[in-house]
Amino acid sequence: MYQSSKNNKMKKIIKPLAIILSILVAFFVGNYITRYGIVIGKDGSKYGTLLKYADDVEQFKGLYEVKEDLEKLYVGDIDQEKLVDGAIKGMTSSLNDPYTVFMNKEEYDRFMQSNSGEFKGIGVYVKLEDDKVVVDSTISGGPAEKVGIKGGDVILKVDGEEVGSDQSKAVALITGAENSQVNIIVGRKDTELEFNVTRETIKTVSVKNEMLENNIGYINLSTFNKDVSIDFVNALEELKGKGMKGLILDLRGNGGGYLVEAINIASQFIPKGEVITYRIDKYESKEISKSEGGVAIGLPLVILTDGGTASASEVVTGALKDYNAAVTVGTTTFGKGVVQLPFELKSGIGGLKVTVSKYYTPKGEDINKKGIIPDYEVKLTEEDVNKDYSKDTDPQLQKGIEVIKDMIK
């Protein structure tokens, strides 16, 4: 009787499952996304083999068997939405890729908002380091800085939920309604610290510029959020108008962002038509991004890098270094040579962020898990990190000034 009941239910379940799988396959086969310079499914024939999965549902029977048994036997309440979330997150986590994640609708909306240049949160940039979500830097004057959260703090829990290595989850939990409170537990050295932080509307100023001594321009670029390249070009033009003879581009702590913004920024220093980066996906399809030309070609340039310089920042650094368009100063970059594509699922249950390709520098260098070694290595001491910041006592910046002075003689 129990077996028969189970089989009847399975027949009812398998049919909608096949429909769901067909929809998913149709999504991947029939759509491609070019908004941010990443193309998926340009050649539909490469995805034809995926169609077989619409009919092959045998491997998913166990999933529904477990669901049915839980509903029959589990003594507590079952939240169906959480059950689905957990099953899908288990699917993505099985890939052992911290950058490929499923986000439910709330998490996805918050994630996309955090990349828009304005979001409601506590004012921190986070990165993945040694499979931990780490505070890369805090936004000056933001809620996190006010309560004492610092760069280098490891985010352990947000509102009681363990974060682990899930960066997207951390971002989603940290952001929220303005004036609401969030409880954050961080690890700092051998100590756990707890903070209650009130969220605010954070308007990220991603581009800061000033003129240093000897007509040396300085631009700090904190993230590659949407349309940041427009602000970057405006900063370049402003400094040029003041008589800039050389530029220091500070990419320290810049964990990346949109690839198209990195390409637009690198284009400012590289002649039109030259390759900035190329990407290769799982089907060995090669997608090349070339320079559109820009306003600072030939300008003496020093790039400051550190272990937090990652992803889109490494696209810029790698391209300019390959063309001898820049000298790099600081420490080796993070080494994230893979590209993710975030997209909303048609079902409306949330979104996926998927690693879709590896990228390479113009000369074909694969920097993933290796990083980019600077031309001049300058490490910060513990004293440098802990003391109040001053440009005059920043050894990496001062070395950059020394190098660029020689370049503009």
Token pair listed for 134: 């780490």
Q: How confident is the model over 278-312, as pLDDT tens digits? A: 999 999 999 999 999 999 999 999 999 999 999 99
DSSP for 58-90, written as a single string: GGGHHHHHHHHHHHHH-SS---HHHHHHHHHHH
Q: What is the mean pLDDT of the chain?
A: 85
pTM of the model: 0.74
Token pair listed for 114: 């955090």
Higher pLDDT pick, 7 / 205: 205
Would you say domain 207-408 falls under CATH 3.90.226.10?
yes
| H/E run at residue 172 | helix 167-174
Token pair listed for 216: 């040396």
Please give the Cα distance from 235 to 162 (Å, whole number): 40
Per-residue confidence (pLDDT) for residue 226, from 0 to 100: 87
Q: How confident is the model over 371-401, as pLDDT tens digits? A: 999 999 999 988 888 777 888 999 999 999 9
* Residue positions annotated with a catalytic role: 311, 336, 340
**Which CATH number is 118-203 given?**
2.30.42.10
From start to end of 83-142, where are the E strands? Answer: 101-104, 118-121, 124-129, 132-138
Q: How confident is the model over 78-137, as pLDDT tens digits? A: 999 889 999 999 999 999 998 999 999 888 887 887 777 667 889 888 888 888 999 988
CA distances in angstroms from 185 to 103, 149, 196, 308, 355, listed in the order given: 22, 10, 9, 22, 29
